[in-house]
Amino acid sequence: MRVRSTILTLIAGLLASISTAYSWGEEGHSIVAEIAQRRLNASASNMVTELLGPNSSLASMASWADSIRNRHPETANWHFIDIPRDSSEYVEARDCAESPGGDCIVKEIARVRSTLACSADLDAKRDALRFAVHFVGDIHQPLHAIKEQRGGNQIKVRGEIRGATCQSQCELGGLDSANLHMIWDTTLIRRTVYDWGDYVDRLEQAWLKTEGFQLRINSETPVDWALQSHALVPLIWNDLLVASDGTLSDSYYKAVLPILDQQLALGGLRLAHLLNEIAGNGCGAPPTPPTGAPGSESGMQRYTNIGDAKIQAKAYHAASAAAVGASRYQQDQSAVSDAAIAYLKQRAGAVGKPAIVLDIDETSLDNWSEIQANDYGYIPEGDCNLTKTGTACGVKEWDKSLQAPAISSTLKLFKAARKLGVAVFFITGRKDIERAATEANLKLAGYEGWTQVIMEPTGGKTPPSAADFKAPQRAQIVMQGYTIIVNVGDQPSDLAGGYAEKSFLMPNPFYRIM
């Protein structure tokens, strides 16, 4: 997957907003806080002890910001951000303007980070810690990142959600009391477990073990968090799930539970990352360098030189002189494919409509010739004449040339899926205007008999992450009655966002798509 994806608008004319919205209930904030506390490093744990006392629990004070809200109306707007539904960008003057109720959650998280890192006032730092725990949770509730209809508070709902806990008397409440925002704050969590600690255990055994999921916390800012939450709104608030009279049913719960899990888990990971970074770097210090970078071990180590990295990448891709006749790259691809095939064989006969999702570029099709011609850069426009050495290759022209061969291990996986009767969906960040060429290239490479190729709409806006396009597409497949048992991609963003039983990450050291 090479090309930047965009959010698919699942519905038109939806309204959502926040103005006096509250937040995750006590359970949700406790889940986020507990996940974070389990991942605090020694410095962050010492900081928490200094401010809250020995053996303090972040979960025990995770809802403090809600409890003081009525006494401090100037904090009201710190719990959310008002991004319009049809926007995929953060505009500070529009979305985070000053008001008697404060500005917005993005600015407040920046302020509490500064206070925790730099202030000498222990009382101020204690409050900042309490705010940080709460607001990092809030920013991951999708309806805290949408402007219209007060973030779903004005969307009245009714009906029944049983989930995993309710056997009877499951009504959501009368039309005067239940709304979509409230369902997300409390009801969905309570329909999943009786005790929030059990919810943490669920996430520890699933989401929090996923490699691609873990990678999403790196190099992100609160603005990224807000935009990613905002991009999820069309998926949880649309005509397919919410009836025109506001009726919800258990089908709504089943459709959105993976998003709920994702957001609670991400909130915990990002809160831990924030507190660890604050405690480890001090006031005004840059983020802690990753292992092997300058600044670690007294600066004795060095960044990898980009020229050396290119040489290493070429060697990794090159054919091996060993008897196996395959490069390390091909061997690693085969290992991923074999694991996915084994899981397909285990699960294909156990579900009614099994499906597999494949990314295209560097997952199903190999663009090495174009990558080499462009010296690992992304050059979308221009001619592509690979017979002339030293010239660039425009990616769009390369795609039209139909020259990309199959990645053999993925073709093997594809054929195994078809033999098992598993429906195959391709989801790619390529634009829909390239559909004819893309489908023709897939067929030439040997991929025959897929169910659908899902592409980014031509002319759409670029989302904060490829995951914000791909996860909703997987959700649509699930809504058609399929069970996605395997999802395969070469980027962590191909795998993030749920709606698949098991995800497999193909190797790709040649570029990164967020």
Positive or negative, the CA dihedral 398, 402, 404, 409 is positive
Q: What pLDDT shows up at residue 217?
A: 64
Widest pairwise Cα distance in the chain = 74
Query: Quick one: pLDDT band at residue 22, thresholds 50, 70, 90?
Result: low
Compute the distance between CA of residue 222 and CA of residue 226 in angstroms, rounded to an integer.
Answer: 6
Name the more confident of 300 and 115: 115
Distance CA 92, CA 88 (A): 13
Confidence of residue 233 (pLDDT cuts 50, 70, 90): confident
- pLDDT on residue 197: 94
> Binning pLDDT at 50, 70 and 90, where does residue 218 land?
low
The whole-number average pLDDT for the span 458-475 is: 80
Which are the contacts of 301, defined by CB distance < 8 A and separation ≥ 6?
Answer: 292, 293, 294
Q: Which of 34-48, 141-155, 191-205, 460-474 has the lowest mean pLDDT?
A: 460-474
- DSSP letters, 48-92, are HHHHH-TT--GGGGTTHHHHTTTT-GGGGGGG-----TT--S--H
| Overall pTM surpassing 0.75 (yes/no) | no
Instruction: State the average pLDDT over residues 243-251.
Output: 79
Find the helix or strand (DSSP H, E) in which 483 lies: strand 483-489
* Mean pLDDT lowest among 35-44, 96-105, 257-266, 361-370: 257-266
From the list 3, 514, 472, the residue with the least C-alpha distance to 216 is 514
479 versus 173: the higher-pLDDT residue is 479
Segment 234-261 mean pLDDT: 80
**CA-atom Rg of the chain in angstroms:** 24
* Domain ranges, ordered by start, for the chain: 26-281, 319-367+404-505
Q: Cα(506)–Cα(489) distance, rounded to whole angstroms? A: 6
pLDDT at 263 over 80: yes
pLDDT confidence of residue 99: 92
Q: How far apart are CA 297 and CA 299, in angstroms?
A: 6
Least confident of 189-203, 248-262, 435-449: 248-262
pLDDT given for residue 421 in this prediction:
97
Q: State pLDDT tens for residues 270-328.
A: 999 999 999 988 776 444 433 333 333 333 334 557 887 788 788 888 865 444 567 88
Query: Averaged over 207-214, what is the pLDDT?
Result: 64
Letter for the amino acid at 218? N
Q: With a cut of 50, say whether residue 342 has pLDDT above it.
A: yes
| pLDDT, averaged across the chain | 84
Percent of the chain at pLDDT > 90 equals 53
Residue 179 or 176, more confident: 179
Measuring CA to CA, which residue among 312, 430, 459 is closest to residue 364? 430
Q: Is the pLDDT of residue 150 over 50?
A: yes
Interval 34-83: pLDDT, tens: 999 999 999 999 999 999 999 999 999 999 999 998 899 999 999 999 99
Token duo for residue 400: 């039209």
**Which token pair is 396?**
């769009």
Find out whether 178 and 144 touch, Cβ atoms under 8 Å. no
Task: State yes or no: pLDDT of 145 exceeds 90.
Answer: yes
Query: Checking DSSP bridges between strand 483-489 and strand 354-358, what pairing results, if any?
Result: parallel
Alpha helices in 84-220 (DSSP H): 92-95, 105-118, 122-138, 180-182, 188-190, 196-205, 211-215
For the cut 50, the answer to whether the pLDDT of residue 23 exceeds it is yes
Task: Check: CB of residue 408 under 8 Å from CB of residue 388.
Answer: no
Tell me the fold of 26-281.
P1 Nuclease (1.10.575)
Q: What is the pLDDT of residue 227?
A: 86
Give the relative orientation of helices 250-281 and 105-118 as an angle to the nearest 10 degrees: 30
Tell me the pLDDT band of 213, cut-offs 50, 70 and 90: low
The β-bridge partners of 453 are 426
Token look-up 């770097």 returns 281
Sheet harboring 452-456: ordered strands across?
Answer: 452-456, 423-431, 354-358, 483-489, 502-505
At position 29, the amino acid (one-letter code) is H
Question: Among 122-131, 160-169, 500-509, where is mean pLDDT lowest?
Answer: 160-169
Residue 20 has pLDDT above 70, yes or no: no
CB contact set of 5 (below 8 Å; sequence gap of 6+): 429, 456, 462, 463, 466, 468, 469, 470
16 pLDDT higher than 80 = no
pLDDT at 382 over 50: yes
Of 57-66, 264-273, 413-422, 452-461, the least confident: 452-461
pLDDT attached to residue 289? 37
> What's the CATH architecture for 319-367+404-505?
3-Layer(aba) Sandwich (3.40)
Lowest mean pLDDT across 29-38, 150-159, 277-286, 503-512: 277-286
Give the phi and the psi of residue 10 in degrees, each rounded to 5.
-75, -20
Phi, psi of 435, deg, nearest 5? -60, -50
Neighbours of 217 (CB within 10 A): 17
pLDDT of residue 178: 83
- Per-residue pLDDT at 412 exceeds 50: yes
CA 28 to CA 186: how far, in whole Å?
A: 7
Mean pLDDT of 434-446: 97
Q: Is 283 exposed, middle or buried (0-12, 13-18, 19+ CB in 10 A)?
A: exposed
Helix (H, G, I), strand (E, B) or coil at 239: coil
Q: What is the structure's pLDDT at 259?
A: 85
Q: What secondary structure, in 3-state letters, does 1-24 show? A: CCCCCCCCCCCCCCCCCCCCCCCC
Q: Can you tell me the mean pLDDT for 469-493?
A: 89
The residue with greater pLDDT, 382 or 302, is: 382
Backbone angles phi, psi at 454, to 5 degrees: -100, 125
Q: How many residues does the chain have?
A: 514
Which amino acid, residue 120? A
pLDDT at 159: 79
pLDDT at 405 > cutoff 90:
yes
